Amino acid sequence: MTGRPGRGDGVLPRLVAAAAAATGLLVAAAVGWSLTSSASQSSSASQPVLRVALPAGRFVLDGCGIAAIGLALLGWLVAGGRRRDVDAVLDAASRAAVVLAGVWAASAVLLLWLQAAEVTARPLMALRVDAVAGYVCTFNSGGGLLVTVAAAVAYGVIAAVTRGRGWPELPTVVALLGLLPAPLTGHASSERDHELAVLSITAHAGAAAIWVGGLGATLTLIAARRTLLATALPRFSTIAAAALGTVAVSGVLTAAVRLGSAAPLVETGYGRVVLAKAAAFGVLGVLGWLVRRRVLPAIRDHRGAPLAVLAGIELTVMAVAVGLAAALTTSGR
């Protein structure tokens, strides 16, 4: 078994990752439409396009932040591997990071425009710059998106200059700075238990991003290089286990702060989506266990294993969970 990728070896994992992202985007749009349609207080009711555009835009924004963190993690995951393979992975990751940074910044600007249109109740095409500026000055969520734009630009510059070499801590921290403003300036900023809400959503968003982003980066950029995968996958498995526990605890705390009691879980659309996210988490736990018990030992021994299949399913379920989260954060309740 060679450590070099054969022709077409890296195509299937990337197709799987793209399909997972498309699935999450569709879930975000569909569930977001459903939640805002049932919420009479939703200010997007007068502009039906916002019912789809807001959750879809939030999914793209979050997806870019998650992918940025995953690419930044590669420096840790491949450290100590064969030099030729490591260089190839880091070069590919740096090129992807530069492109990703541009998409990330553009999605933040687009979401800023969409949110300003929702808050001001003005038609999208009639929204003026002064209205957007007023939204930024008045609402924390507007300022948070500007922080994301700045972080995305800085992330792209770092990727272009370092080409994935140097300290992986720097792009990871910058990516987290770009990812966290959106959840922190959303529902958490207005909850009664403000400190607990902020702490739980920070841990939840950060751990989930490391988990999802790390899996996506491993699947798309490392999986085809089997020798390097034997080094990277055990490291990611350890990170994923810690992230899984953090996501579980912080998710329960976030839901408890937001809903207040168990009744809204079945009585409201928001609560039912929370239950759907919990079900997705359970599926992910089972898939992660299968990877650790059946795939990881084979990879360590440089034997063939159905990593692309299991990781692809896991990534798809993760994308659905991210899509549900995007719908929740852009809904009225």
- What confidence tens digit (pLDDT) does each residue in 51-67 have? 889 999 999 999 999 99
Q: Is pLDDT of 3 > 60?
A: no
Q: What tens digit of pLDDT does each residue of 72-125 get?
A: 999 999 988 889 999 999 999 999 999 999 999 999 999 999 999 888 888 888
d(CA 104, CA 175): 10
What per-residue confidence (pLDDT) applies to 40? 47
Amino acid at 239: I
Question: Which tokens hold the place of 125?
Answer: 């095409």
Q: Where are the domains of the chain?
A: 11-25+48-329
Give the residue ranges of DSSP H helices in the chain.
11-38, 48-77, 83-120, 129-138, 140-162, 169-179, 181-184, 194-217, 226-259, 264-267, 269-290, 296-300, 307-329
pLDDT for 287-306, tens place per residue?
A: 888 888 878 888 887 777 77
The structure tokens listed for 222 are 């490392």
Query: Tokens standing for 85?
Result: 């393979």
Confidence of residue 268 (pLDDT cuts 50, 70, 90): confident
Task: Give the architecture-level CATH label for domain 11-25+48-329.
Answer: Up-down Bundle (1.20)
Spell out the residues 6+ positions from residue 327 whose beta carbon is closer than 8 angstroms to its own: 27, 28, 31, 32, 34, 35, 55, 273
Work out the percent of the chain whose per-residue pLDDT is above 90: 39
Burial class of residue 83 in the structure, from the number of CB atoms within 10 Å of its CB (0-12 exposed, 13-18 middle, 19+ buried): exposed
CA-CA distance, 199 to 95, in Å (whole number)?
34
Please check whether residue 55 is in contact with residue 28, taking contact to mean a CB–CB distance below 8 angstroms: yes
- For residue 1, the model assigns a pLDDT of 40
Q: Tell me the pLDDT tens digit for each residue of 244-258.
A: 899 989 888 887 877
Q: Using alpha carbons, select from 258, 204, 230 the residue that is nearest to residue 62.
A: 204
pTM over 0.95: no
